[in-house]
Structures are given as structure tokens and as C-alpha cells.
Amino acid sequence: MIEILKIGINNTAKIEDIIKKNYLENNAIEEVEKIVRKIISKVKSQGDNALLEFTTKYDGVNLKPDEILVKPEEFEIARKKIDKDLLEIIKEAVGRIKRYHMHQKENSWFTTEEKGIILGQIVNPVERVGLYVPGGTAAYPSTLMMSVIPAKIAGVKEIAVVNPPDRNGDINPYVLITAKELDISEIYKIGGAQAIAALAFGTKTVKKVNKIVGPGNTYVTLAKKNVFGMVDIDMMAGPSEILIWADEKADARYIACDLLSQAEHDREATSILITDSESLAIRVMAEIKNQQEDMVRKDIVEASLTKQGKIIIAEDEKIIIDFINRFAPEHLELQVENPWQKLSEIKNAGSIFLGAYSPEPLGDYWAGPNHIIPTSRGARSFSPLTVSTFLKKSSIICYDRERLKRDGKKIASLARLEGLDAHARSIDVRNEE
């Protein structure tokens, strides 16, 4: 069951203990990383054969080489299986996510601040990207939307999707039909570290990519870490997190629901309430006990809350704000009076939800902002997935003869200061003409 604890000025050690529970810093991760490296090495050297071997081992599916890539007829079969009303909802969600991400478009620019000098920046999309969509215990067409839409808006020409198959060797029909709505046809029935390796190095069936994005389990995250440099990645996204700041007037039912909504993601998911109200803490605890009894994923919820769940009673607001910014949550809900007034105090958070009627699932499915967000304190330095994730930039420099002559001696002096005589000569030779 979820743990209740109190923190104050004099027991900051408890705060440190909670904050340091970063799964990427856990000693057990080292053993997982050894396995991940072996998987990557085998896929790199053996290609499709290794992919098929690991798909059998980890997904329990025996695929043939020509079954790795989803065939066109599988999209049509999926269309016959889905609920048409749900398809309309998916289409509306796609529209909302597109509208939000259109605001993130970037343009090339040039400036002529002085006569004879043109400077600027050219913005180009990454040419080919790989998108990881989790599978396993659930299907995530929403993650497909969140990764494909900003990539399309950025102008990415080639998009490859990897998604673990079910026990029958199929991709969830709603994932396939969402892909069809987004004009995506290149989907591979592979998951885990082996899928990341295939995208990074390529196989006979899977063409290598320039960048890999998307959330996954520990194996996926560590695989992304280990192929970084060969390809770019978006972030080190791990198990989901929610941190709720609530006051005495907050509705305990709402808070319990929101904590449980994250706990059902994964046994490693983190759900934390922080409040200065002991009364609210007790009410939320009672609501959690009551609500989780009839949950479909009850076992996962109980494991998550027991391992990572916390209800924290803080001595004052200053401690709460300090905890939030040091924890840097993936999802932060402000269920407090006048949440807009508190917003300026929040420096580190992935997505921030203001008020009682802005629950975290709004961000998962509907409102428009991306739900692929840094976890494990990543919000201290990383941002959610955006259109910019799929862009790269080139600097433009153009001087004419007179401007180079004017500045040449200064440039050559800086080069010689660093002991780079050939750099200086590159400038001098032009000014000697």
C-alpha cells in the first residue's frame, strides 16, 4: 500500500531519499545494461536472425523474416476489427494534437546587420527517424500520434515505426488504423532493445535511421542510451510519474483517481501526493483503498503504489516547492487554490496541469501537448517531444572581401593565441591579395 510520511525543515534526509530513487541510478540497472549490450551486439552482427530470435525469446512469437514488416493487407484487416465511433475519436484527437504542434514550427532566417556580411540559420528536418511505440501489457495508439504528428509537421520524409507484436504475432488494430490515418505504412513487429538496435544499425529488413524517439521500458531506454552517437535520441524516458500538489480544499476522489491512473501504467511507475494538509492525506489514502479494489490492472497498481507511491505531508509551502523543483516530475498537477499564482515558482516539470479539472489524462490523449516527456528528473534539462525534436540546423556565414580585410588581423590574432597558425594563415592569405 502507498506510504504516508512527513517532511519538514529538520528531516530533509527523507526528501533526498525519495529524490534519489532514480531508476537509471539503481545498481540493478548495471545488470540489465549488460544484457542490453549483448542484444545490441548480436543484432548488429546477425541482423534479422537476431531480431527473430529475440522476438521469440521476449515476445513469445515465432515470426518468419517476411513477417517482420507489416503487410498492406494487415491494415485492411485491422479496419474491419475496430469500432467506428472510436475511429472518429482518434481522428478528432489527431486534429487537436496537430493544431497544438503547428505553433512549434521553426523557419530559416538570415540577417544583414552590416553591409558585406550575411549571417543566418537554415532549418531542415531529420531525413529518416525511427519511432518506438510500446506494446506488451497495453496498446498505445496515442503514443503513435504524439510521435508521428510533430515529425510530419517538421517535414520528416521517412518514418519507421517499431511496435512489439502480441502473442499471435499481430499489431494492435487501433495502432495500425491510427498509423493509416497518419499516412504511416512502415511498421515493424519488433520491440525491446533489439528494435532499437535494428533502427540504429539496420538489418536486411529494417533500414537504419538518423534519430530514434519514443518511450519504453528499461531495456528500451538503456538501448537508446547505448546507441546514442551512432544515432541521435530524444531523451531517456523511463517509467511514468505523477506528482500532485494539493491543499486542504482539494477533492480527495480526484487526487486518488489521478494517482491510480499513473500507477496502472507500470509496476515501476511513480505516484506521489504532496500536501500541507494531514486531513487531505488521510482522505486520499481512504479513497485509494476504496477505488483500487475494482481496477482492471489491480495487481500492477498495488505493486506500483507499494514500491514507488508516496503521500507526503510537508511542513510548509516552501518545502513543497523545493521538493517539486528537485524531483522535476514528468507530470505535475497543481490542485491548489489559485494555481496560476503558483506557476511562476515551478522551474522543473515536464507537463503542468492547472486546477481540479485538468487531470493528467487530458495530456495523454486530448488537449494537444505531447505526452512523450522526460522522467527520472530529466525535466531539469530536457523538454517534452516537440516539432524541434525532428529538426536540425545549419549556420550560414558569408563575408565579402572588404569585411574580411577589416576584421582579418583580429581573427588571425585569436587563432595564434590558441596556437593555430594555419587558421591564422587562412585569413592572412586572403588579405595579402
What's the confidence (pLDDT) of residue 398? Answer: 96
Within 10 angstroms of residue 282's Cβ, the number of other Cβ atoms is 14
Per-residue pLDDT averaged across 94-102, rounded? Answer: 97
pLDDT tens, residue by residue, 137-171: 678 999 999 999 999 999 999 999 999 999 899 99
Q: How confident is the model at residue 65 (pLDDT cuts 50, 70, 90)?
A: very high
Per-residue pLDDT averaged across 206-212, rounded? Answer: 98
Q: How confident is the model at residue 218 (pLDDT cuts 50, 70, 90)?
A: confident
Cα angle 120, 126, 129 (rounded to 5 degrees) comes to 165
Q: Which residue has the higher pLDDT, 181 or 378?
A: 181
Percentage with pLDDT > 90 across the chain: 78
What's the confidence (pLDDT) of residue 24? Answer: 55
What's the confidence (pLDDT) of residue 286? Answer: 92
Q: Hunting for cell 495500425 — which residue is that?
A: 176
What's the confidence (pLDDT) of residue 344? Answer: 94
Per-residue pLDDT averaged across 74-91, rounded? Answer: 94
Nearest C-alpha neighbor of 336 from the set 242, 248, 243: 248
Within 10 angstroms of residue 316's Cβ, the number of other Cβ atoms is 10
What's the confidence (pLDDT) of residue 155? Answer: 97
Interatomic CA distance for residues 215 and 136, integer angstroms: 13
Return mean pLDDT, the chain: 92
Cβ proximity of 329 and 243 under 8 Å:
yes
pLDDT tens, residue by residue, 8-37: 766 666 677 777 665 555 557 888 899 999
| The three-state (H, E, C) secondary structure of the chain, written as one string | CCEEEEECCCCHHHHHHHHCCCHHHCCHHHHHHHHHHHHHHHHHHHCHHHHHHHHHHHHCCCCCHHHCECCHHHHHHHHHHCCHHHHHHHHHHHHHHHHHHHCCCCCCEEEEEECCEEEEEEEEECCEEEEECCCCCCCCHHHHHHHHHHHHHHCCCEEEEECCCCCCCCCCHHHHHHHHHCCCCCEECCCHHHHHHHHHHCCCCCCCCCEEECCCCHHHHHHHHHHECCEEECCCCCCCEEEEEECCCCCHHHHHHHHHHHHCCCCCCEEEEEECCHHHHHHHHHHHHHHHHHCCCHHHHHHHHHHHCEEEEECCHHHHHHHHHHHCCCEEEEECCCHHHHHHHCCCCCEEEECCCCCCHHHHHCCCCCCCCCCCCHHHCCCCCCHHHHEEEEEEEEECHHHHHHHHHHHHHHHHHCCCHHHHHHHHHHHCC
Cβ proximity of 234 and 147 under 8 Å:
no
Residues designated as active site:
330-331
Q: Hunting for cell 485509494 — which residue is that?
A: 288
- Answer whether residue 297 shows pLDDT above 60: yes
Q: For residue 191, what are the CA distances in angstroms to 35, 68, 69, 164, 207?
A: 15, 11, 12, 4, 15
Domains and CATH numbers, the chain: 3-26+239-380 (3.40.50.1980), 47-236 (3.40.50.1980), 400-431 (no CATH)
Hey, which residues does 70 pair with through a beta bridge?
none
pLDDT tens, residue by residue, 317-365: 999 999 999 999 999 999 999 999 999 999 999 999 999 999 999 999 9
What's the confidence (pLDDT) of residue 12? Answer: 64
pLDDT tens, residue by residue, 249-285: 999 999 999 999 998 888 888 999 999 999 999 999 9
Q: Which residue has the higher pLDDT, 132 or 315?
A: 132
Q: Which residue has the higher pLDDT, 147 or 6?
A: 147
Interatomic CA distance for residues 59 and 202, integer angstroms: 21
What's the confidence (pLDDT) of residue 417? Answer: 97
What's the confidence (pLDDT) of residue 192? Answer: 95
